[in-house]
Chain A
Amino acid sequence: MKNKHRLLAAAFIAACFLTAARVAAQEQDKAEPAATSEYSEKGADTCLGCHSVEPFFATKHARREDPRTPFAGLQCEACHGPGGQHAKGMAAGQLVPITIAFGPKSKQTAAQQNRPCLGCHERDARIGWKGSQHEEADLPCASCHQLHTARDRMLSAGGQAERCLTCHIRQRGDFYKATVHPVRYGTIRCSDCHNPHGSGVSGKLLVKSTLNQTCYTCHAEKRGPFLWEHAPVSEDCSLCHTPHGSVYPALLKKPPPLLCQQCHAPAGHPSVAYTPQGLPGGTPSGFLLAGACINCHSQVHGSNHPSGAKLMR
């Protein structure tokens, strides 16, 4: 039965792919005017005759005295491409699009929009942009970043959360759960843990080289190494914790004792079925209530105590 469902799902997906491919092959994108190499006569002064982008001039991109910035060179056309024909055409009452427009209404592909940005910014944390998840998803830089505002929203905690959670809907719900990482409150940012511009082959876009190293940035006390290690803790924090939000305390995937019983079943108390009989009103059980297993095995992240083999010291 499971294989049948899998086959049906695969067939459905394949059918969607084929249909979409057929539709796509039949349709044609509206032809764009070919790019030209004709620049405007007066640079930004040409553009500002029609376009008002005052806040932009408070940003780093507009500093003419800094030779690294667009305004030290081709000004608006450094990013938007040669605007000579656009300016002449518009002045003559003809609709001639700018070579590269940004934003959701742009006719250029993500790669075309991103190329001017990467010309300067493809370095350091953005070295791995090509082939990263967001690049693979054809995201233009301008779908997140705002260059014509005085402060790019992606540089503030609130702005980041608002933008990231527009697409990452599951995480938006996670941040309203009982225990969370406080992105909703603006006291940490998505980019404290994630590098949205691509890092790591594993696909989590983390700021450090591994998941655990990322967690240790704020939780260095759990790094160890400890005399008595708890193997899943050393391997991968996310085996027990869910990073964005949980119904259960301490961002756990499941409450103890069930979480612990997924991996511990020796003879004795770890293998017992703890049922509602152990609740107050029945026979209150220390194996079930308060911290459950953690009441005794409190050093669950590892112990450096010579007598901590059972993570109880």
Chain B
Amino acid sequence: MSPANLHVLVSVALAAQAGAAFAQQSPGGTALPVDTSKWECKLCPYPKGSSGDVEVGAVNVDSDSFQFGRYTGLKKDTYLGLDANARSVQGASYLDLQASDLGLPYRSIDYEQGLSSMGKLNIRYAELPFLSSDSARTPFSGVGGSALHLPPTWVPGTTTQTMPGLNSSLQDVNIESGRKQFNFGLAAFPTREWQIGMNAQHETREGTKRIGGTFFLNAAQLIAPVDYTTDQLEAYASYAAPRWQVRFAYQGSKFTDGNTALRWDNPFAETLPGATFGQLGLPPSNQFHQLSASGGYDISDGTRATAMLALGRMGQDEAFLPATVNPTIAPVALPRSSLDGRVDTTRAELKLVSALSAQWRLNAAYSYDDRNNKTPQSTFNWVTTDLQLSPTPRTNLPYSFTRNLFKVSADYRVTPRDKATLGVDRDAQDRTFQEVSKTTENTAWAKYALQRGQFDVSLNYAHSRRDGTAYTPVPQISPPENPLLRKYNMADRDRDLVGVRAAATPWETVTIGLDYSQAKDNYNNSEVGLTYGREYTVGVDLSAQLTEGTSLHLYYSRQSVKSNQAGAQSFSNPPDWTANNTDTVQTAGIGLKHALIPETMDIGADLTSSRSVGDIRVSTALNEPGFPSIKSDLDSFKLWATYKVKTYLMVRASLWQERYSSQNWAIDGVGPSTIPNVLTLGETSPQYKVNVASVSLRYRF
């Protein structure tokens, strides 16, 4: 080893030791390495009393689009908004309040109170809207409830085109839901080492969602009610010593659905007697409880072991609905009145990281993940879509999964900042009631990360091979699958991954980033099913400080996802059709910020453009053309300015225009009566051009 390298290593070791000393002794420790009694902190600019800011303003949205407001709930309207941040500190106690977007459909308030140095309390309230569709039409009334009815004058048709009252009874209906979340957390710090606390969340979700209801091959797109309540609780205790830490926790979740079923009138003419209405089950209420313990131990200065064990149980025991609501079918006896569903989960992990020397580090990890489905099996007589008793009873298949994952790797530090890593992984998965009882995937990978001054680059490569036990049809699955099919999550597969990432700062004011990754999958033994997949992403970033007051940010990324699959229209025959799917997504953005009047007025502009294209071609011997592209184009342009009137008063204003266009052959041109045997909601691909103007006044105190 050269003297220079030795110097670097010694320097690293000393800095590391120094760091350890501060960490172990300084914050609240009993033996500080220096007498700090004269460190008076006279110059420390502690804020006095309360501090924060309040911002009030108005937001105008000039047109309606559910796609625009999908996750914000913004519709054509003028909103008055309020944001506030406030903090008050008194010794070790404090209050911290953050209110965001009050007055807007999405909004939240966070409150935290520090109780001396002994604990803290958190409260959060948030509303999260979800606007799904504003182009749906339905002849059913009662949307939002658990029963959907057709008009009293409805005359059923054998097809959607022969329903005489369809067009006149269609009503516009929005599909949307909203979540309201209330969180409460409490933490106590009885000693420096201990933390004990709990976090609870009560969430309600109300609104509607799409669902499909069918009578054999005659189906209708319906709107189901959403009336969900989810309560979650975590309670924990943790202890941290300088060399070891542990955490024990309980996690519980209880989901309740306010509706158990959705009934709907059959819009189609009865193919069998009595099927004038049907009934679907809605998500049953369920629970989950888990106890976990995790810990870490520094075996030596360079070696750390961590472990985790979590034991959980999922349960569901909601009373079964009747097998049918068709009054002409005799009541069907059920083997049980409810499922008594129970799944035990076990998750265990062990990880060891050991620095064998200044250059070498060994990493080893093992995880065990088990989903043991203990739901009892029973054989059910069942009714096909409320039409007729099936001649073939079915037995439920409680799926269980076990996964054993091993990882071993070694790092070699060529210099303190350069590292080469080689590793191998082994991922073994066991499944019950499925075609392949065990798959094993072995992966070998390598990575090199290098840093030279203001230049970073990392390269990685991985190759995986997945093999399974014999592919054996599941006898309980009826009708049987094509024996040539290989389900892609269990099929033999070769996978190659390559990644390159680089970042450079060629000049003090310019940073450039480059990222490329590619994954390629070959399912060489799959004749029917997914046969090939390939995905790559390339991205470039550039940030520049053009002048003292002007900065620029540019980025571009392109993603391509391609897959091939094969199908056979005749059972057990060789494949006679293929499907090729290519999705291409390009995203580009530019952001400019300029200090128009230094320290007083900033202006900026942000432009983002995204183009997504999904191309699909399904080919048979007839050599059909491809489907029209599924597209979405988004252009978002925002101009903004801030003007500091006083040191404590600021005006903000912004103009934002977003344009969106999309096309999807699955819904475009598909009205409620387009498909003879499916009464659809007649939705259309969203298009919008929305302008949003906002102005606000921010007062800092």
Contacts and interface: CB of A to CB of B under 8 A. Distances in A.
Given A122-B245, A225-B398, A279-B627, A290 B33 contact: no
Contact of A68 (B27, B385, B398): B27
Nearest to B459: A16
A266 B245 contact: no
Interface in B91-143: 91-92, 94, 106, 114, 116-117, 128
Contact of A67 (B27, B278, B292, B323): B27
Given A272-B569, A303-B281, 12 more contacts: A24-B418, A31-B7, A63-B92, A78-B22, A78-B27, A120-B27, A137-B458, A239-B488, A284-B676, A285-B675, A291-B221, A313-B386
B546 interface: no
Contact of B347 (A210, A217, A303): A210
A289 B27 contact: no
Given A100-B19, A289-B666, A296 B46 contact: no
Across chains A and B, which 9 residue pairs bring their CB atoms closest together, nearest first? Answer: A119-B23, A43-B39, A169-B539, A115-B19, A182-B71, A67-B28, A298-B212, A305-B281, A273-B577
B487 interface: yes
A29 B415 contact: yes
A266 B306 contact: no
Contact of A10 (B22, B448, B461, B630): B461
Instruction: Report the contact-size class of chain A (Cβ under 8 Å from the partner).
Output: 35 or more
Contact of A123 (B26, B240, B616): B240
Interface size on B, as a range, is: 35 or more
Interface in B425-464: 431, 433-434, 446, 448-452, 457-459, 461, 463
A286 B323 CA distance: 26
Interface in A71-125: 71-75, 77-79, 81-82, 99-100, 104, 108-109, 111-112, 115-116, 118-120, 122-124
Contact of A31 (B11, B286, B294): B11
Interface string A40-62: 01111100110000100110101
A166 B541 contact: yes
Contacts of B485: 263-265
A46 B212 CA distance: 71
A286 B434 contact: no
A229 B398 contact: yes
A187 B452 contact: no
Contact of A263 (B21, B292, B529): B529
B20 A299 contact: no
A177 B632 contact: yes
Interface in A7-56: 9-10, 13, 16-17, 20-21, 23-25, 27-29, 31-37, 39, 41-45, 48-49, 54
Contacts of B295: 127
Contact of A296 (B214, B334, B487): B214
A37 B18 contact: yes
Interface string A210-238: 10010011001111111111011011100
Contacts of A187: 71-72, 106, 128
B498 A13 contact: yes
A54 B86 CA distance: 17
A75 B37 CA distance: 12
Contacts of A216: 253, 288
Contact of B72 (A118, A185, A273, A307): A185
A198 to B, nearest CB: 9
A251 B375 CA distance: 30
B245 A44 contact: no
Nearest to B107: A187
B12 A112 contact: yes
Q: For chain A, what secondary structure do more than half of its interface residues adopt (helix, strand, loop), or is it mixed? A: loop
B145 interface: no
Contacts of B320: 227, 304-306
Nearest to B380: A306
B174 interface: no
A277 interface: yes
B41 A75 contact: yes
B642 interface: no
Contacts of A120: 23, 27
Given A131-B304, A201-B349, A275-B624, A294 B212 contact: yes
Of B28, B515, B675, which is in contact with the most chain A CB atoms at under 10 Å from its CB?
Answer: B675
B34 A39 contact: yes
A209 interface: yes
B33 A298 contact: no
Given A6-B496, A119-B23, A57 B28 contact: no
B555 interface: yes
Contacts of B34: 39, 74, 82
Contact of A74 (B26, B43, B296, B315): B26
A157 to B, nearest CB: 9
B369 A267 contact: no
Interface string A246-264: 0111000011001001111
Given A109-B417, A225-B398, A9 B92 contact: no
Interface in A131-153: 131, 136-138, 150-151
B585 to A, nearest CB: 5
B623 to A, nearest CB: 10
Contact of B314 (A6, A225, A235, A298): A225
Contacts of B279: 305, 313
